[in-house]
Chains A and B, each alone.
Chain A
Amino acid sequence: MQASDLGKEKKEANSVSPLMDIKNLSVFYGDKEAVKNVSMPIEGNKVTAFIGPSGCGKSTLLRTINRMNDQIDSAHYKGEIMYDGVNLLDKKIDVVSLRKEIGMVFQEPNPFPKPIITNLTHALKFYRTKKSEIQGIVETALKQAALWDEVKNRLNSSAQSLSGGQQQRLCIARALALKPQVLLLDEPTSALDPISSAKVEDLIIELKQHYTIAIVTHNMEQAARISDYTTFMYNGELIEYGETSQLFTNPKEQRTEEYLTGKFS
């Protein structure tokens, strides 16, 4: 299956059906079931946060969405992740196309040790983007990542000369350059100082106008500030999924209440 088959018809914001539908998803590392029979929607043009203690399966779930776990030999799945009528877990899916459509940014900023501009053009060249379009795409992606003004006069400087926060926004720009529909963010601010974190948070809120965002975070205040929906996971299970405003003020499940209020043992 090619990239063109994925996300061909972009869904409208606020559409009734979710952009993505996770159905009875279980993820195993060998015999260990890291994600247990999870079903939930990912709504389009919204931010969905995943919270829960370390090892609860939230990062595994996120990494399953764009098949990053395929790189782990012992990883295997059950269930479906439906996206535009396609099951993303289907063996026939071209994962390279999938990752163009569903971009990912990790905990540690990981720019290529190359000039800033190369960080964006590298993948564009790989996907054979027309030379005439590249300059415009680079500028748009850097503007969307709120980095353009800071780097426009030094695009040929090494990406490693940027601050941690700038590097992380560059990684977001790198993902945006491929015009994905979904952005997966795995603890994108945990290695950043508060000011850089605030910039990334502002950026996430800005980006949801154009992209669907799923974010794993250990920072519950961050989840409360930036997300529209929150999923609380524990021990591989989805304990509660709901609107962030409801989950943080009046959680339905006792375990969610205990985790949010720090009474978890």
Chain B
Amino acid sequence: MTTRRFFTEELNELQVKIAELAEDTKDVLKKSVDALFEKDIDSAQSIIDNDHFFNQKEQMINETAMILIAKQQPVATDLRRLIIAIKISADLERMADHAKNIAKSTKRLGAHHNITINPEIREMANLAMGMVDIAKKAYETEDISLAKELASNDDKIDEKYGEVTRELLEETANNPQQIQHIMQMAFTSRYIERYADHITNIGESIFYLVKGVSYDLND
């Protein structure tokens, strides 16, 4: 096998690992939101316990990228591909952290609370999971039009986050005795909003990979 072919295969493997991590990050968000709505404390605890998996995956991707940088001394697109692998894996790990934080909120709310979970939180999560699919496709196909699409989806999530926040503020006035629970709901919507921001970062990384210049998708 030629050195270049070997390097290309290792780059492809790295790309596959990142796509798998993205899929896992999407799954954990779904599980954490399901646990929230279903008051499933066991599932929430399992999400918290398994968070180390994401940290390990991120470290593995970083180490592979660093070894390839050291051994292959890449330039141009190859170098950018490895730099963004490190950045994207960091974003994915942070996204998994936000899912874990939702699981922690679920635990704090407990199995016996009687407040209604805002349906917008589910909508926000669905939108965010859709963004992961778009980001994955954009990464695999290096399609910057898809990367740009992430920004408009992120705006939709921001709007919903605003709605949820307003509703929860009203709720605090109507049910001041429930303020601890309402706070957990506010945190949860914030975690999803931040989760989506990291997907937008991934879109920016893809833009950098393709164009070689930094781009702020929020501008």
Contacts and interface: CB of A to CB of B under 8 A. Distances in A.
A73 B208 CA distance: 51
A256 B3 CA distance: 19
Nearest to B2: A262
A262 B213 CA distance: 22
A249 B75 CA distance: 6
Contact of A263 (B4, B79, B212): B4
Interface in B165-219: 212-213
B76 A221 contact: no
Interface string B46-82: 0000000000000000000000000001111111100
Given A249-B212, A250-B212, A250-B213, A261 B74 contact: yes
Q: Among the interface residues A224, A261, A263, which one has the most CB atoms of the partner chain B within 10 A?
A: A261
A260 B75 contact: yes
Report, as a range, how many residues of chain B touch the other chain: 10 to 19
A180 interface: no
A187 interface: no
Contacts of A249: 75-76, 79-80, 212
Contact of A261 (B77, B212, B213): B77
Interface string A213-225: 0000000110010
Contacts of B75: 220, 224, 248-249, 260-261
Q: Among the interface residues B3, B76, B77, which one has the most CB atoms of the partner chain A within 10 A?
A: B76
Contacts of A221: 73
Nearest to A256: B76
A227 to B, nearest CB: 13
A262 B212 CA distance: 19
Interface in B1-35: 3-4, 7
- Main SS of the interface on chain A? helix
Contacts of B4: 261-263
A260 B76 contact: yes
Given A262-B3, A262-B4, A263-B4, A248 B73 contact: no
Report, as a range, how many residues of chain A touch the other chain: 10 to 19
A248 B76 CA distance: 5
A117 B174 CA distance: 96
Nearest to B211: A250
A109 B150 CA distance: 58
B120 to A, nearest CB: 41
B3 A257 contact: no
A256 B78 CA distance: 13
A35 B77 CA distance: 28
B81 to A, nearest CB: 10
Interface in A181-221: 220-221
A251 interface: yes
Contact of A251 (B3, B74, B76, B213): B76
Interface of A: 220-221, 224, 248-251, 256-257, 260-263
6 contacts: A248-B75, A250-B80, A256-B76, A257-B76, A261-B4, A262-B4
